[in-house]
């Protein structure tokens, strides 16, 4: 067929005639003709690391600081994040730089705590269909960034947004972070086509994560540009002051000068699609 | 390479020289040379439906009653399960038939409740990497059946078993329920090869779910036999007194006579691999 | 849906009321209640290697000798097979042991040559949709074994059988050899469920290849049993007198005693599904 | 790892210090800082259809005319293309418009014929590992456009380019046309990340096919832009004067005004990445 078709039971996450959803976070606007760049380390490792990264992100023109305090790791023996201590560090970085904070929440019982520090609540790919958690953040006040599950269809992903919206939280940002395929040279296969599919089906903003989406530093910039050219509303990018020392995802984290270069190179692409950076 | 290799950091879920793990649930033994058959409806819909199914399962020689009281559904508007009321119905069916109960728990805060009724706690595919939930059932007394995530590698799956074992619960049953592939004629692709891979890497029992694994009634029996022939320790099968009226998964639920036929046809396969039914 | 549905344009490869197709190759019958075992090396490497393997296959009760003279290799610098010299060696092994020969043909212009030596023409996975080749073997006299493409749907696979049947060759054997998925611990994911799907849709015999399907020696026997239990009409298995010295696929080739063990262990499974070995 | 690693046996298809490969076809240059747009119908259906499309492509600024005379179709009963008659029509369109022709060749024995009319020989996705065909076009004089197989890894794809280069034909253009994944809303998943991967590993030009890559008309323009932003050297796009009447792929073919719009919208993206259209 030549049209995009999804279940007619999805009512809230689809286009409803009111136009694009505009989400306000501090003095940052997400959605519509504004490109938003979220950047920062995969994990919050220390006060120094986060403050240094926040300054780098701010100086290069980034809009929101990312960083994980609660980390979903494949094995129980890996670094699991600093927890509330990490949230406090993120809040301090916000106080200094003015950058709002996006950070992951992994369990319903942590939502109240995370919400007391964060500006945007991130639902990770592994929890996309953790429906208890979705319902809980659907009753939160803060916006939610919902990552696509590792092998979720776009329809399932919108179904998960529906769970959040249906509880009353209208502020959902979708994040394409790569899907699992047979290809092994990249960590995941970034499904850039999910961007125009979402833009045609839904009014919700959609950002892409070229860091997890590729797993390889040298692919982050070209895929960030591809995402914006395809119509994405923003990017979430891993930046680390010393990627080779990162406790997680060092291979896909940009060095600070690479992030600054990317911000400069993005500008003409953003202009070419008629948006603002 | 000709050998199966996984991360050396996985210590508890792998073979450790003590031989196969034998798990006792009521008067049923899971693991080693015993084939266990868990059967019942996808969802607990009513007292009558569950009691009728329990009698059918018992009469045909099944060992454990399955049925969902908390249902993870793609959309918030679908039937979400009867909750505690459903657990009470399952317990009544156990009282009448003597069949132990396996049922899903979806959230850490529900573990205590579910454990007070169920004999085995099921972690569904969508929650395989819900690490908060894994840690919580790792502190439960009851055994845990851990379904493989929709696109989880076998190594990631064992990593999730490790989360449970690492909290002190030694009784983990693995369940292969089909993985997501490009093939569309079946609902999932049942990865039968996961069975011998697990048997060669781990001492934990592994069962297969040919109902979710195929999504089509007529494929359940041949795939159940394939699983046993490949070395599985058991099966989990959807049976419904009236599949055409089921609130979920009717297309893959066996009619009662089909289940009885399957139990009869399984017997020689079980014998051929030197096990007991 | 609860039924298997494929394109109604497929007319010849589907059930047509005449019952299972029985294919005669020398004194061997393929299809219906007979299990056929094809075995031998991946590549024809030398006269000694093939004759030794043929004797091993014959002594253990195998029915057909496999071996590649034309080899589709990922890189042009890998061993490409002995060509006609390899075909002559296979024919000599048939003369000595009485085992019919199955071997791959890669190009339309080679069909006449390969057919002059072989008893069954194999179309490899990479050539499943080489339609020019399919039409050519559809005009051959010898039966054709059509391997499923690496990421072919079952419907596409039957569409390829249709190409052969439509040219007038009624003797098509389907071979499931594993599909490409995200799982990396096995070389491919053997789609055992393809067996009952094919049996329910088509009258053509279907065999499985647990050697390519898993890529790992220790998984061949359990998956061979699984295939037979699921209803397969036969197996194609790699056996090599010295797997560690094989020019291709050594890691998945059985040692001769392993093949003899497998033949013994298969017998009760074959009996359990009411067939003959 | 943070680096892209492939087999060291691939010698010709990888970077070798001479910089980007520049391929001349008539007065068109492919590769380096030039973006090339190939456009036209999926199938050559009639003289009128092709001439009309060629004029549209030319007027909108396209560089090369595409169109299939030999069509690989899933079933033998579908339109198989006009064969040599189709090649003659394409040649007439070139004579009138000056646009060079790219068209598929499906069999070794057709290479001489197709080469006598076409300017670029296309190897389709289904034939990517038809090694006999690859060797034959490796001995052709005309450049070859090699489409990535439906589930080929990037390494396997480069291995196929190696087969062509190793026979002496230095002019290989790679074409990413979407890979097969579990997602069903799009026909394939266009792997845009293959573009920067290829640019970092190889000197060969790489183009993307957003028509087959998505299967949906409304996604062609955003994905074309994404491909160029990611660094592709060009695009191959299906355009049809009357898509609703097309004998194949109508759903993904652009209407003429959509193609003209796309050419206009591409210009600023091309400029943003420092190239020429």
Q: Under a CB-based contact definition with an 8 Å cutoff, are residues C129 and C87 in contact?
A: no
Establish if B185 touches chain D: CB-CB under 8 angstroms.
no
Task: Band the pLDDT of A42: cuts 50, 70, 90.
Answer: very high
pLDDT tens, position by position, D177-187: 999 999 999 99
CA distance C256 to chain D (A): 32
Task: Band the pLDDT of C32: cuts 50, 70, 90.
Answer: very high
- Plot region of D98 (φ>0 → left; ψ -120 to 50 → alpha; else → beta): left
pLDDT tens, position by position, D220-252: 999 999 999 999 999 999 999 999 998 888 899
Pairing outcome for strands C36-40 and C234-238: parallel
Q: Under a CB-based contact definition with an 8 Å cutoff, are residues A131 and A92 in contact?
A: no
What integer is the mean pLDDT of D11-16? Answer: 95
Is residue C1 over pLDDT 60?
no
Query: By CA distance, what is C131's nearest residue in D?
Result: D72
Is residue A2 over pLDDT 80?
no
Partners for D (CB, 8 Å, 3+ pairs)? A, B, C
Distance separating alpha carbons of residues A12 and A158, to the nearest angstrom: 9
Domains of chain A with bracketed CATH: 23-272 (3.20.20.70)
Q: List % helix, strand, coil for chain C (3-state, nearest 5).
A: 40, 15, 45
R_g (Cα) of chain A, nearest Å: 17
CB pairs under 8 A between B and C: 152
Partners for C (CB, 8 Å, 3+ pairs)? A, B, D
Q: Do C159 and D7 touch (CB under 8 A)?
A: no
Q: Under a CB-based contact definition with an 8 Å cutoff, are residues D126 and C130 in contact?
A: yes
Distance separating alpha carbons of residues D186 and D190, to the nearest angstrom: 9
Establish if B184 touches chain D: CB-CB under 8 angstroms.
yes
Q: Under a CB-based contact definition with an 8 Å cutoff, are residues B226 and C227 in contact?
A: yes
Quick one: C88 exposed, middle or buried, by C-beta within 10 A (0-12, 13-18, 19+)?
middle
Place of tokens 């240059």: D29
Q: Which residues contact D112 (CB under 8 A, 6 or more apart)?
A: none
Q: Which residue among B181, B213, B217 sits closest to C181, beta carbon to beta carbon? A: B181
pLDDT at D95: 98
CA A49 to chain centre: 20
What integer is the mean pLDDT of C113-137? Answer: 98
CA neighbours closer than 13 Å in the CB half-sphere of residue D236: 31
Residues in chain C with CB shorter than 8 Å from the CB of A186 are none
Give the residue among D119, D168, D167 at the shortest CA–CA distance from D145.
D119
CA distance C190 to chain D (A): 16
Quick one: B167 exposed, middle or buried, by C-beta within 10 A (0-12, 13-18, 19+)?
middle
Q: Which residues contact B245 (CB under 8 A, 6 or more apart)?
A: none
Quick one: A137 exposed, middle or buried, by C-beta within 10 A (0-12, 13-18, 19+)?
buried
Distance separating alpha carbons of residues D89 and A1, to the nearest angstrom: 29
Query: A173: which DSSP letter?
Result: E
Q: Which residues contact C116 (CB under 8 A, 6 or more apart)?
A: C87
Distance separating alpha carbons of residues A254 and A258, to the nearest angstrom: 6
Q: Which of residues 108-167 of D touch B (CB under 8 A)?
A: 151
What integer is the mean pLDDT of D66-90? Answer: 96
Q: What percentage of chain A exceeds 70 in pLDDT?
A: 99
Distance separating alpha carbons of residues D236 and D204, to the nearest angstrom: 16
Task: Band the pLDDT of A3: cuts 50, 70, 90.
Answer: confident
Q: What is the pLDDT along chain B (277 residues), one digit of tens a residue?
A: 458 999 999 999 999 888 999 999 999 999 999 999 999 999 999 999 999 999 999 999 999 999 999 999 999 999 999 999 999 999 999 999 999 999 999 999 999 999 999 999 999 999 999 999 999 999 999 999 999 999 999 999 999 999 999 999 999 999 999 999 999 999 999 999 999 999 999 999 999 999 999 999 999 999 999 999 999 999 999 999 999 998 888 899 999 999 999 999 999 999 999 999 9
Is residue D1 over pLDDT 60?
no
Place of tokens 């919050």: A44
Distance separating alpha carbons of residues D220 and D193, to the nearest angstrom: 17
Q: Under a CB-based contact definition with an 8 Å cutoff, are residues A21 and A210 in contact?
A: no
Establish if C196 touches chain B: CB-CB under 8 angstroms.
yes
Angle made by CA atoms A262, A265, A269, in degrees to the nearest 5: 120
Q: Rounding to the nearest 10 degrees, give the CA dihedral for residues C162, C168, C174, C179.
A: -40
Distance separating alpha carbons of residues A221 and A272, to the nearest angstrom: 17
Q: Which of B156, B187, B192 to mutate to test the interface with C (most CBs of C within 10 A)?
A: B192
Q: What are phi and psi of B238, to 5 degrees?
A: -85, 125
Residues in chain B with CB shorter than 8 Å from the CB of D184 are 184
Alpha-helical (H) ranges within D22-153 are 47-60, 84-97, 111-117, 131-138
CB pairs under 8 A between A and B: 80
CA distance C188 to chain A (A): 10
CA D109 to chain centre: 22
Can you give the length of chain A in residues? Answer: 277
Q: Do B10 and A150 touch (CB under 8 A)?
A: no
Distance separating alpha carbons of residues D81 and D248, to the nearest angstrom: 10
Both tokens assigned to D59: 């007027």
pLDDT tens, position by position, D201-212: 999 999 999 999
What is the torsional sign of CA D114, D119, D120, D122? negative
Both tokens assigned to B52: 């009728």
Distance separating alpha carbons of residues D231 and D275, to the nearest angstrom: 9
CA distance A32 to chain B (A): 27
Both tokens assigned to A224: 């960030």
Distance separating alpha carbons of residues C93 and B17, to the nearest angstrom: 45
pLDDT tens, position by position, D145-191: 999 999 999 999 999 999 999 999 999 999 999 999 999 999 999 99
What integer is the mean pLDDT of C133-147? Answer: 98
Q: Do D179 and A183 touch (CB under 8 A)?
A: yes
Place of tokens 């529900």: B110
Q: Do C108 and D106 touch (CB under 8 A)?
A: no
Q: Which residues contact B6 (CB under 8 A, 6 or more apart)?
A: B14, B154, B155, B158, B201, C185
Q: Under a CB-based contact definition with an 8 Å cutoff, are residues C103 and C69 in contact?
A: yes
CA D130 vs CA C131, C213, C249: distances in Å: 11, 21, 20
pLDDT tens, position by position, A146-183: 999 999 999 999 999 999 999 999 999 999 999 999 99
Q: Which residues contact C206 (CB under 8 A, 6 or more apart)?
A: C173, C174, C175, C176, C194, C195, C198, C199, C232, C233
CA A24 vs CA A137, A172, A202, C234, D95: distances in Å: 17, 11, 18, 63, 58
Is residue A244 over pLDDT 80?
yes
DSSP symbols for C74-98: SSTTS----THHHHHHHHHHHHHH-
DSSP symbols for D153-178: -HHHHHHHHHHHHHTT---EEEEE--
pLDDT tens, position by position, B14-68: 998 889 999 999 999 999 999 999 999 999 999 999 999 999 999 999 999 999 9
Partners for A (CB, 8 Å, 3+ pairs)? B, C, D
Query: By CA distance, what is A184's nearest residue in C?
Result: C182
pLDDT at A249: 84
Q: Which residue among D2, D3, D217 sits closest to A2, beta carbon to beta carbon? A: D217
pLDDT at C2: 59
Q: Under a CB-based contact definition with an 8 Å cutoff, are residues B158 and B10 in contact?
A: yes
CA B41 vs CA B23, B117, B146: distances in Å: 23, 17, 18
Distance separating alpha carbons of residues B265 and C218, to the nearest angstrom: 27
What is the interface pTM, i.e. ipTM, of the complex?
A: 0.97
CA B275 vs CA A169, B53, B192, B266: distances in Å: 54, 26, 18, 11
Both tokens assigned to B153: 């590698």
């Amino acid at each position: 067929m030549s049209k995009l078709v999804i279940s007619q039971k999805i009512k809230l996450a689809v286009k409803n005639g009111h136009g694009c959803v505009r989400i306000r976070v501090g003095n940052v606007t997400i959605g519509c003709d504004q490109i938003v760049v979220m950047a920062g380390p995969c994990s919050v490792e220390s006060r120094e690391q986060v403050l240094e990264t926040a300054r780098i992100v701010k100086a290069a023109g980034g809009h929101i600081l990312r960083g994980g305090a609660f980390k979903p790791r494949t094995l129980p023996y890996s670094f699991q994040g600093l927890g509330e201590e990490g949230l406090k560090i993120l809040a301090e970085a916000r106080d200094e730089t003015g950058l709002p904070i996006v950070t992951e929440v992994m369990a319903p019982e942590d939502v109240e705590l995370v919400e007391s520090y964060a500006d945007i609540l991130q639902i990770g790919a592994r929890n996309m269909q953790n429906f208890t958690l979705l319902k809980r953040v659907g009753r939160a006040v803060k916006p939610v960034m919902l990552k696509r599950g590792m092998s979720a269809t776009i329809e399932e992903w919108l179904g998960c947004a529906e769970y959040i919206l249906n509880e009353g939280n209208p502020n959902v940002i979708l994040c394409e972070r790569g899907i699992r395929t047979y290809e092994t040279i990249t960590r995941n296969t970034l499904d850039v086509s999910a961007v125009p599919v979402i833009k045609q089906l839904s009014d919700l903003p959609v950002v892409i994560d070229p860091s997890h989406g590729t797993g390889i530093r040298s692919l982050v910039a070209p895929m960030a540009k591809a995402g914006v050219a395809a119509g994405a509303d923003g990017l979430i990018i891993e930046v680390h002051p010393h990627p080779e020392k990162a406790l997680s995802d060092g291979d896909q984290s940009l060095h600070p000068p690479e992030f600054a270069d990317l911000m400069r190179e993005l500008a003409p692409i953003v202009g070419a699609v008629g948006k603002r950076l």
